[in-house]
Amino acid sequence: MPHQHQADSTFANPVIPGFYPDPSICRVGDDYYLACSSFEYFPGVPLFHSRDLVHWTQIGNALDRPSQLCLPADLPSSAGIYAPTLRHHDGRFWLIVTDVREGGGNLIVTATDPAGPWSDPVRAPGVPGIDPDLAWDEDGTCWCTVAGVSQVRIDPSTGETYGTPHRLWSGTPGAKAPEAPHLYRIGGYWYLLMAEGGTERGHGVSIARGRRPTGPFEPCPANPILTHRSTDHPIQNTGHADLVQAPDDSWWMVLLGVRPRGGTPGWHVLGRETFLAPVTWADGWPVVGEVPLEAPAPGWPLLPGPVEASRDDFDLNEVRPSWISPRDRPAEHYSTKERSGWLTLRARGGSLDERDVVFAGRRQQHLSCRGRTLVDPASGRGGLAVRLDERHHYEIEASATDVRVIARVGSLRTVVASKPLPTGPTVVLGINITEPPAAHDARTGPDVISLGIGEPDGTFTELATLDGRYLSTEVAGGFTGRVIGMYAAEGTVHFDWFGYEALAP
């Protein structure tokens, strides 16, 4: 177990599993804070705290009320909130992020406590691109650097920009998508870190340095300083990184990566996750160490069975910060007060095929896991789903009369199985996700997803087992990962509890 401040080589990656991409990190004293992208989900920009860079706890979301984030019902999946930068300057936390949609643009929020409240946003229409970074010069001048890579002077308290944006270093010639820039003053240099090669298998991290924050920048001769492209490393698409120095002066990088599984070409289903790697310095350049495997940490039980369990009984008025919903979460449709101790979902559109579906879920964070919920469908129709987006989801749905398994893959939608509602007004719906045993068939999928009914004696009656590849980013496209949760497709549906258990690999 790493001791405080210093992650040693035995830590388990990803340090934040599940769809938590584009990590940005800062340290204040002994505390580290980290922010991620959230795309079409509300609340936006999950925020985490850690004291050792390895164990992270979600402390809130930077955009957690409609006055800060009001995503329209027709927002496409994988649009919305992209790539924040989190910094601490002058006694405050500053977070700048892009809202990718028509009329969106960059916005800045501040807080004295990163757990919130965060301010209402200030818009920065003069910022010339996505993936904005904020860096302050010695004299207090603030520079905003964006994908491309270009830069403009900004007053982050008003969002006003000054002068014409100027081009900085654009990465390795021929590499696509120079993006995710972060600018740091380290020693006598300004370092410009960025991602290039695209966020798919070609992703990587490169760096340049100069004497001034505005350049000129000289590229590191060892670029890319991190990439897993064309390797057989189990963590792929490594890129979009940020640097942090620990109190003991050691340096660390947080980055996104994916864990493709199955045969060729490999499918990743949890989205882009947050990983940690050690950094050393040589000749004034950072050298990124091995991104350790997700090898079980000491103490991780290797026997099958739950390794991490969480259960929500909906007994509090507030839901945990890790619960997310597509686009918005209005109180008329999501309530823990209507029926005490239950989550009540009131349908507004229709099924999970609709962009305004009423759905509350949490990220699938483990390759093998299971979800359960106890539902009362007497006055509606709804259930438990694994969702990648509106066009890619599997669900088990209960009504007053029956239980059905539905699969939506691209433009195909099928009722895979159905049976009469078992006796009783309530039913436990379940989803089991497991990695298939190692096979020599190159076409084996990443995992299998079983949907069924939890019986009163604790056993599970499977209604259908489906190939997980169709709920992967390689099939669906986009930037997000799977979310498991409850939804209402018709009327009012009550959920007494929701449980999630990670299973040992």
Which of 19, 323 has the CB closer to ligand 6LW? 19
Which of 180, 493 has the CB closer to ligand 6LW? 180
* Minimum distance, C-beta of residue 39 to ligand 6LW, in the bound complex (Å): 8
Which of 39, 191 has the CB closer to ligand 6LW? 39
Q: How far apart are CA 383 and CA 426, in angstroms?
A: 11
Helix (H, G, I), strand (E, B) or coil at 469: helix
Phi, psi of 217 (to 5 degrees): -115, 140
CA angle at 277 for the pair 87 and 85, rounded to the nearest 5°? 20
* Minimum distance, C-beta of residue 502 to ligand 6LW, in the bound complex (Å): 25
**Two tokens at 329?**
């979460």
Helix (H, G, I), strand (E, B) or coil at 138: coil
Which of 36, 244 has the CB closer to ligand 6LW? 36
Residue number, nearest CB to ligand 6LW: 199
Near ligand 6LW by CB under 6 A: residue from 15, 54, 71, 83: 83
Within 13 Å, how many C-alpha atoms sit on residue 12's CB side? 14
Helix (H, G, I), strand (E, B) or coil at 117: coil
Q: Judged by CB under 6 A, does residue 37 bind ligand 6LW?
A: yes
Name residues whose C-beta falls within 8 Å of residue 167's C-beta, 6 or more positions apart in sequence.
Answer: 148, 149, 150
* Residue 452 · residue 458 · CB < 8 Å: no
410 exposure class (CB count in 10 Å sphere: 0-12, 13-18, 19+): exposed
Catalytic option among 22, 294, 312, 356: 22
Q: Judged by CB under 6 A, does residue 291 bind ligand 6LW?
A: no
Helix (H, G, I), strand (E, B) or coil at 155: strand
Q: Judged by CB under 6 A, does residue 240 bind ligand 6LW?
A: yes
Which of 22, 242 has the CB closer to ligand 6LW? 22
- Looking only at residues 463 through 492 of this chain, which bind ligand 6LW when binding is defined by CB under 6 A? 479
Near ligand 6LW by CB under 6 A: residue from 20, 42, 48, 82: 82
Handedness of CA 449, 235, 265, 237 (dihedral sign): positive
Near ligand 6LW by CB under 6 A: residue from 11, 13, 16, 22: 22
Catalytic option among 40, 64, 131, 179: 179
Distance between start and end Cα atoms, the chain: 19
Q: Judged by CB under 6 A, does residue 275 bind ligand 6LW?
A: no
* Residue 199 · residue 83 · CB < 8 Å: no
Q: Which of 100, 111, 9 is nearest to 59 (CA)?
A: 111
Q: Judged by CB under 6 A, does residue 241 bind ligand 6LW?
A: no
Q: Judged by CB under 6 A, does residue 75 bind ligand 6LW?
A: no
* Minimum distance, C-beta of residue 153 to ligand 6LW, in the bound complex (Å): 22
Instruction: Report how far apart, in Å, the C-alpha atoms of 407 and of each of 185, 397, 447 are.
Output: 51, 11, 15
* Minimum distance, C-beta of residue 208 to ligand 6LW, in the bound complex (Å): 17
Which of 131, 390 has the CB closer to ligand 6LW? 131
* Minimum distance, C-beta of residue 405 to ligand 6LW, in the bound complex (Å): 32
Q: Which residues of 260-290 are buried (b: 16+ CB within 10 A; e: fewer)?
A: bbbbeebbbbbbbbbbbbbbeeeeebbebee
* Minimum distance, C-beta of residue 199 to ligand 6LW, in the bound complex (Å): 3
Near ligand 6LW by CB under 6 A: residue from 18, 21, 126, 361: 21
Q: Judged by CB under 6 A, does residue 131 bind ligand 6LW?
A: yes
Does the active-site annotation cover 179?
Answer: yes
Near ligand 6LW by CB under 6 A: residue from 130, 226, 279, 319: 130
* Residue 464 · residue 417 · CB < 8 Å: yes
Q: How far apart are CA 343 and CA 228, in angstroms?
A: 43
Looking at this protein, which amino acid is placed at residue 33? Answer: Y
- Looking only at residues 166 through 185 of this chain, which bind ligand 6LW when binding is defined by CB under 6 A? 179-180
Does the active-site annotation cover 22?
Answer: yes
* Minimum distance, C-beta of residue 108 to ligand 6LW, in the bound complex (Å): 17
Q: How far apart are CA 237 and CA 255, in angstroms?
A: 10
The mark string for 182-221 relative to ligand 6LW (x by CB under 6 A, - otherwise) is -------------x---x----------------------
Binding site for ligand 6LW (CB under 6 A): 21-22, 37, 82-83, 130-131, 179-180, 195, 199, 239-240, 256, 479
Catalytic residues: 22, 179
